[in-house]
Amino acid sequence: MRSQQTREREQRARQEAARLGAEGVRAVALTFVDNAGITRVKAVPTARLAAAVARGVGASPCFDVFLVDDSATASRDSGGPDGDLRLFPDLDRLTVLAAQPGWAWAPVERYDQAGAEHPGCQRLFARRMAARAAERGISLRMGFETEWTVSPALEGPAYGMARLVERSAYMNDVVTALVEQGVNVLQIHPEYNEGQFEVSVAPSDPVGAADLAVLVRETIRAVSLRHELTPYFGPIVTAGGVGNGGHLHLSLWQDGRNLCRGGDGPFAMTATSEAFLAGVLSALPALLAVGAPSPASYLRLEPSRWAGAFQCWGLENREAALRFIAGAPDDPDAANAEVKCFDPAANPYLVVGAVIAAGLAGLDAKASLPEPVSGDPAHDSGQQRLPASLPEALAHFSASQTLREAMGTRLFEAFAAVRHAEAALFEGRSPQEIADATRGRY
């Protein structure tokens, strides 16, 4: 017997499919992001959407241990050719893709054949952590910044209007496609590197922020290819240069009130915010394995490149791994914190889930923040560098009981296996070889 809930979802999917069909949408791309940080896809004809919603779409669990180069490793419970999962699309996120005519998109969650949650599902993990915060009356608003680099590059100077003019139609098409998809774009600009851009979008709930990170990236990819540009979302494009960041903004809310302001903690944050952020700050060495998960990440995470290579925090300090933004006096709700050390190789669902887990551990410990840092911490010998290699970050990750408990053994171990295997994959390769092998993969 199918449950009432399933029947209702199926009914709704039929209505959505009819609407999509009338708009010329012939197929729906269903995505999840694996432990390598790669967005994998199964697609169904629009007419199959209701069936996908009712029964899921089959997919191998092997992606839990896939690497960035599409080879696979194994962990205690993951790997090998056996087994099948069901992918269930989230209809609330169903979006007609403006830059891919005939296509719509929805993110999925992964369940087993018997209908139980797959313990390796990253989106379910993010959802569980958001629910944990909600149990304490806290909701989080989060948003990822997207930085990317296109080839061929541009002639104009960093952040220059000349670059916007050079790529006028392209940048306009990126904004247009995002806005048509209902994405609340805050700003877009040419970044530091030749050919580098950034777009930021309004915050949403944690799972929604991760979904948006996927949608924004795939939209940019589609627009880029239509303009015959090759987009790179890897952490580093040219060894020795500035990389692509994947900064995460977050604020804590309770009863409609932003807890990043109106308190008597540093820069007027509340005690709850301070404890949460202190939990995140102290867990950064372990969180780095999640948020900066590739050997390529450590080619980006260098001092004095605005990547946040030091384990410190500061008010609007772009070299601190954790940047606090107090917000303008007439826009106090804008107060938030930004984790700068993360990059686009990260699985955004794992990032939001792991950051919430670390923050809640800080709340439990009633943690407080150390002194804020101003100026470039690279010029202050008292400041602590974050791990400078993936193996170093992995050692912290593997020792983190907080993350092990939050993620659950199966996800934790599969993720660690992928990280170990990617470290081994690139061992002994030159920085530029690592950049070349990863920049176009994400």
Per-residue tokens: 337: 């914190």
Closer residue to Mg ion, CB minimum distance, 16 or 338: 338
3-class DSSP assignment, residue 416: helix
- The structure tokens 């920085």 sit at 431
The residue among 104 and 301 lying less far from ligand GLU, judged by its C-beta, is 301
Rounded CA-CA distance 119/391 in Å is 25
294-313: contacts with ligand GLU (CB under 6 A): 300, 306-307
Q: Which residue has the tokens 């990617």?
A: 422
To the nearest whole angstrom, how small is the minimum distance from the Cβ of residue 147 to ligand GLU? 5
Cis peptide before 89 (omega within 30 of 0): no
Q: Which is nearer to ligand GLU, 200 or 272 (CB)?
A: 200
> Which long-range CB contacts under 8 A does 10-19 form with residues at least 24 apart?
10/50, 10/53, 10/54, 11/50, 12/53, 12/91, 13/49, 13/50, 13/52, 13/53, 13/54, 13/91, 14/49, 14/50, 16/49, 16/91, 16/94, 17/46, 17/47, 17/49, 17/50
Residue with Cβ nearer Mg ion (242 or 287): 242
* 92-100, 193-201, 234-242, 410-418 -> range binding Mg ion (CB under 5 A): 193-201
- When asked if residue 319 is in the footprint of Mg ion (CB under 5 A), the reply is no
In the bound complex, what is the minimum distance in angstroms from residue 346's beta carbon to Mg ion? 16
Nearer to Mg ion, 188 or 411 (CB): 188
Task: State the Cα torsion 370-373-378-381 to the nearest 10°.
Answer: -50
36 lies in the binding site for ligand GLU (CB under 6 A): no
DSSP 269-316: --HHHHHHHHHHHHHHHHHHHHHS-STTHHHH--TTTTS--EEEEEET
Which x/- pattern, by CB under 6 A, does the window 198-217 give for ligand GLU? x-------------------
Stretch that binds Mg ion, among 9-17, 30-38, 197-205, 409-417 (CB under 5 A): 197-205
Residue 33 phi/psi, 5° resolution?
Answer: -110, 130
State how far the Cα of 148 lies from the Cα of 132, in Å rounded to an integer.
Answer: 33
Q: What are phi and psi of 341, to 5 degrees?
A: -80, -5
Span from 163-171, 212-220, 238-246, 396-404 in contact with ligand GLU (CB under 6 A): 238-246
Out of 198, 211, 218, 343, the residue judged to bind Mg ion by CB under 5 A:
198
* Least spacing, CB of residue 400 vs ligand GLU, in Å: 23
Q: Which is nearer to ligand GLU, 110 or 340 (CB)?
A: 340
Binding mask 116-155 for ligand GLU (x = CB under 6 A): -------------------------------x--------
Q: Are β-strands 185-190 and 85-89 bridged in parallel, bridged antiparallel, or unpaired?
A: unpaired
Helix (H, G, I), strand (E, B) or coil at 351: helix
Rule CB under 6 A: say whether 245 interacts with ligand GLU: yes
Two tokens, residue 305: 């490149």
Of the candidates 12, 48, 227, 318, which one interacts with ligand GLU according to CB under 6 A?
Answer: 318
The stretch near ligand GLU (CB under 6 A) out of 26-34, 174-182, 219-227, 237-245 is 237-245
The site for ligand GLU, by CB under 6 A, has a size of: 11
* Dist CA 252 CA 57 (whole Å): 35
**DSSP category for residue 156:** S
DSSP 404: H
Q: Compute the radius of gyration of the chain from its Cα atoms.
A: 21
Contact segment (CB under 5 A) with Mg ion among 36-44, 196-204, 236-244, 264-272 equals: 196-204
> Residue 46 or 149: which CB sits closer to Mg ion?
149
Output the smallest distance, CB 315 to ligand GLU, in A. Answer: 15
As measured in angstroms, the least distance from the Cβ of 55 to ligand GLU is: 42
Touching ligand GLU, residues 257-286 (CB under 6 A): none
Which of 66, 192, 63, 50 lies closest to 121 in space, CA to CA?
63
Partner whose footprint covers residue 377, from ligand GLU, Mg ion, none (CB < 5 to 8 Å by kind): none
Please name every residue paired with 231 in a beta bridge, in sequence order, or none if there are none: 150
DSSP 205-246: -HHHHHHHHHHHHHHHHHHHHHTT-EEE-SS-SSTTS-----
Q: Which CB atom, from 300 or from 439, has the smaller least distance to ligand GLU? A: 300
If the CB atoms of residues 402 and 438 are measured against ligand GLU, the closer one turns out to be 438
Toward ligand GLU, which CB reaches closer, 286 or 339? 339
Q: Give residues in contact with Mg ion (CB under 5 A).
A: 198
Could you list the residues that contact ligand GLU (CB under 6 A)? 147, 191, 198, 242-243, 245, 300, 306-307, 318, 340
